[in-house]
Chain A
Amino acid sequence: MAPTPATTAWPWPSSVVRGRTLLQTLGAAVLVLLAAIAFTPLANVVAGWISVTPQVGPADAIVVLGGGSEWPGGEMSSTALHRTARGITLHRYGLAPLLAFSGAPGRFPPSLSEIEAAFAQQCGVPPAAIVTDDRSFTTREEALHLAERLQPLGVRSILLVSDSHHLVRARRVFERHGFRVLPVPANDGPEPARAPAARFALMNRAVQEIFAVAYYRLAGWI
């Protein structure tokens, strides 16, 4: 059998020692990073960097972006429910005459936007004030299709409802398509995570958005 680092006596080849040292250094760095995410406010700090400051005021329309999906029985995911509730609340305060829902069809009909519109009507929003669009699967498509639907109606300013992290990218995309955007987080800003599991989830969400913003910038969409 050919000698391996595990079976030969010291000294091992220097390349093996260098490689092992590099791996140990990488492992130590990963461990330190994991500990920092789990036991320090690092996740909350990073999430805070990529969140938006809410801006609530009169606008031509309220736009609720699709979030998550619907469940087989036609229920909204908790993400979609938070966003829909925020949009309905803004409409009830009289901040905009139109309430637009964006949400593509999932595996189970009807589409998310139709489910949200039905819920809004049950909450007293008149059908004439509701606009739906179920053609979009990405944030960029939402901006494109909603511009096609709303701008002919004279909509230039919008209250944009989504999660705080998502709004960093969403706002820029919608501004690229000619809207003046007032961002309104559905979750009142990033919730401080107080347990290791929650911190990991928050950091995961934050890193996803950082990569998404980088991808949109590379693609020239923002």
Chain B
Amino acid sequence: MSLRDLLLLAVVAATSAAAVALGVRRLHRSRAGLRAALGATLACIGVTAIFAAANLALGTLLVLGARLVTGRFVSIYLVDDPTWLAISLLQGIAWSLWPRAR
């Protein structure tokens, strides 16, 4: 591991530990609640992965379809953009929070 990796992990560990301490001691949140929140986070990541796979698959199919229909070259690298992941994350969060909305 490089110094950059260690710095990143150390900073994330420190801020996470501080957030947990703040939540438990000052805001009186339960550790069981934290476990449930972490489980919900994992489920949200799972949904995000499904949205990401669906978005990329549909984007690829549209590009290949456009080539077939128009007979012109359309680059497959149009789907190569990290924005897809960010949008998939938003979709995953919205989907995960949907049942909790009143």
User: Which A residues are closer than 8 A to B by beta carbons?
Assistant: 1, 4-7, 20, 22-28, 30-31, 38-39, 137-138, 194-196, 204, 208
Chain B residues 63 to 102 lying within 8 A of chain A, measured CB to CB, are 73, 75, 80, 99-100, 102
- Given A27-B41, A27-B46, A208-B80, does the pair A5, B2 have CB atoms closer than 8 Å? no
Residue of A nearest to B72 (CB): A137
Please, how many angstroms separate the alpha-carbon atoms of A5 and B98 in the complex?
Answer: 11
Check if A39 sits within 8 Å of B49, measured CB to CB. Answer: no
Interface membership of chain B positions 8-21, coded 1 if the CB is closer than 8 angstroms to chain A and 0 otherwise: 11000000000000
Check if A30 sits within 8 Å of B49, measured CB to CB. Answer: yes
Check if A6 sits within 8 Å of B100, measured CB to CB. Answer: yes
Please, how many angstroms separate the alpha-carbon atoms of A196 and B5 in the complex?
Answer: 7
Please, how many angstroms separate the alpha-carbon atoms of A194 and B1 in the complex?
Answer: 9
Check if A31 sits within 8 Å of B45, measured CB to CB. Answer: yes
Contact of B44 among A6, A27, A208 (CB under 8 A): A27
State the Cβ distance, A55 to closest chain B Cβ, in Å: 28
Please, how many angstroms separate the alpha-carbon atoms of A75 and B64 in the complex?
Answer: 30
Contact of A23 among B8, B47, B73, B102 (CB under 8 A): B47
Counting CB contacts under 8 A, is B61 at the interface? no
Counting CB contacts under 8 A, is B4 at the interface? yes
Counting CB contacts under 8 A, is B58 at the interface? no
State the Cβ distance, A9 to closest chain B Cβ, in Å: 14
Please, how many angstroms separate the alpha-carbon atoms of A39 and B1 in the complex?
Answer: 7
Check if B46 sits within 8 Å of A26, measured CB to CB. Answer: yes
Check if B43 sits within 8 Å of A24, measured CB to CB. Answer: yes
Please, how many angstroms separate the alpha-carbon atoms of A43 and B80 in the complex?
Answer: 18
